[in-house]
Amino acid sequence: MTTPTIELKPSATPLAAAERQAILASPGFGRHFTDNMVTIKWTEGRGWHDAQLVPYGPISLDPSTHVLHYGQEIFEGLKAYRQPDGSVAVFRPEANARRFRNSARRMAMAELPEELFIGALDALLAQDAGWVPPHGGEEALYLRPFMFATEAALGVHPANEYLFMLIASPSGAYFPGGVEPVTIWVSEDHVRAVPGGTGDAKTGGNYAASLLPQAEAAAHGCAQVVYLDAVTRTKVEESGSMNIAFVYGDRIVTPELTGSILEGITRDSLLQVARDLGYTAEEGVVTLERWREDAASGALTEVFACGTAAVVTPIGTAKTRTDAWTHGDGTPGPVTMRLREALLGIQRGVIEDKHGWMHHLGQADNA
């Protein structure tokens, strides 16, 4: 089975430039979508076929469609940034392509070849390049590849048909008024993932399970949830959609990947950026007890969460059902802010990309 090429059938009625500029001036997150999308089908016995770039729009599904009943679905999230010379570059898409395959394998789905994943990004970005916000701020074009089981029949088994789609949405700066620390809720009643489960796959079901604890966090005035390991309920794992890191002076510790933590690309990149800046950056175990004690003693100086959407988010305060504690003076710490600037600088093309992380559109990969 060969890799199909993407047939270009773009919208004949793209949004007028003036309307697009108005959206790009204040895009928010996930509210507006570009003119086009990419769709690729997979059928058992035939492989990947019908790769197309088509106008963005609704799709029609049979009521028995497998994903609606059994949740066989995976997704990715990555960003394209306008570079100082006006060109467009995507941050580490090869890493997302690899993780998408890993997620597919765990969910017993067809694995999209990495070159087709990258090909879909290139095709959509070439067509909808005008939707990448201007260089200058932290705005970017958020790319959302996803795939789900489309077999129209009930019965629990890996589906014999899948649909891959790629859509794109301009996204504004996560902290438009300047970086602000968030308060995080330590979930003691619910867990996100269990050893041997699907915690290391980027699948919608993990998010469905996180909505109740997220609502509980909001009810306690917290913006995010942090989960503990499911077995001992003592070790910190990650937030619902972001990894977490602890700063002890010039040493940074993030929970080691145990199979129930999603392997974040921002997490991995920050470990490298931290080492490049001369910090000690390591994976290890941080217990809830240590977290609380080290915050009280002052040994723990900063805590931050990281992921593609918000890049780096300082965590000022942590709360449980019984207590709360603050890191340092509760304001964004210098290490957190330095890492944030360094990573965003690489992504925006103003700091040298020495690890070959940026995939430049319309050029052979230089990684």
Residue 262 Cβ, how far from ligand PLP at the closest point, in Å? Answer: 4
Site string for ligand PLP, 193-232 (x = CB under 6 A): ---------x------------------------------
Question: CB of residue 338 vs ligand PLP: minimum separation in angstroms?
Answer: 18
Tally the C-alpha atoms within 13 A of residue 79's C-alpha that lie toward its C-beta.
27
Alpha-carbon distances of 2 from 18, 92, 145, 328, rounded to whole Å: 41, 25, 21, 56
> Which residue from 170, 307, 314, 332 is in contact with ligand PLP, where contact means CB under 6 A?
307
The site map against ligand PLP for 29-68 (x = CB under 6 A) is ----------------------------------------
Site for ligand PLP contains 187 (CB under 6 A)? no
Residue closer to ligand PLP (CB basis): 243 or 313: 243
| Alpha-carbon gap, residue 17 to 167, rounded angstroms | 19
d(CA 351, CA 37) in angstroms, rounded, equals 31
Length of the chain: 367
Identify residues 93-122 at the interface with ligand PLP (CB under 6 A): none
Shorter beta-carbon distance to ligand PLP: residue 93 or 170: 93
Query: How far apart are CB 304 and ligand PLP at their closest, in Å?
Result: 12
Interface with ligand PLP, residue 79, by CB under 6 A: no
Among 266, 301, 313, 336, binds ligand PLP (CB under 6 A): 266
| Burial degree of 357 (CB within 10 A; 0-12, 13-18, 19+) | buried
CB 320 within 8 A of CB 184: no
Phi, psi values for residue 116, rounded to 5°: -75, -35
List the one residue from 149, 163, 265, 300 that touches ligand PLP (CB under 6 A).
265
DSSP 46: T
d(CA 345, CA 333): 18
Contact between 261 and 199 (Cβ < 8 Å)? yes
Nearer to ligand PLP, 78 or 247 (CB): 78
Residues 131-170 that bind ligand PLP (CB under 6 A): none
Looking at the Cβ atoms of 260 and 301, the one nearer to ligand PLP is 260
Q: Does 77 contact ligand PLP by CB under 6 A?
A: yes
Residues 236-255 that bind ligand PLP (CB under 6 A): 238, 241-243
Is residue 315 close enough to count as binding ligand PLP by CB under 6 A?
Answer: no
If the CB atoms of residues 211 and 299 are measured against ligand PLP, the closer one turns out to be: 211
The nearest distance, CB 112 to ligand PLP, in angstroms, is: 17
Q: Is 262 in the site for ligand PLP (CB under 6 A)?
A: yes
CA distance 136 to 233: 43
- Nearer to ligand PLP by Cβ, of 253 and 265: the residue is 265
How many residues bind ligand PLP (CB under 6 A)? The answer is 13
CB closer to ligand PLP, 241 vs 347:
241
Burial (0-12, 13-18, 19+ Cβ within 10 Å), 42 = buried
Counting runs of H as helices and runs of E as strands, what totals does the chain give? 8, 18
Query: Which residue shows structure tokens 């040298």?
Result: 352
Interface region with ligand PLP, contact rule CB under 6 A, candidates 1-9, 147-155, 222-230, 258-266: 258-266
DSSP state letter for 114: H
Count of alpha carbons within 13 Å of 234, Cβ hemisphere only? Answer: 5
Q: How far is CA 358 from its chain centroid?
A: 16
**Tokens for 84?**
């100082």
| Distance from the first to the final alpha carbon of the chain | 27
- Rounded CA-CA distance 145/101 in Å is 12
Least separation in angstroms between residue 249's CB and ligand PLP is 24
Interacting residue ranges for ligand PLP, rule: CB under 6 A: 77, 202, 238, 241-243, 262, 264-267, 307-308
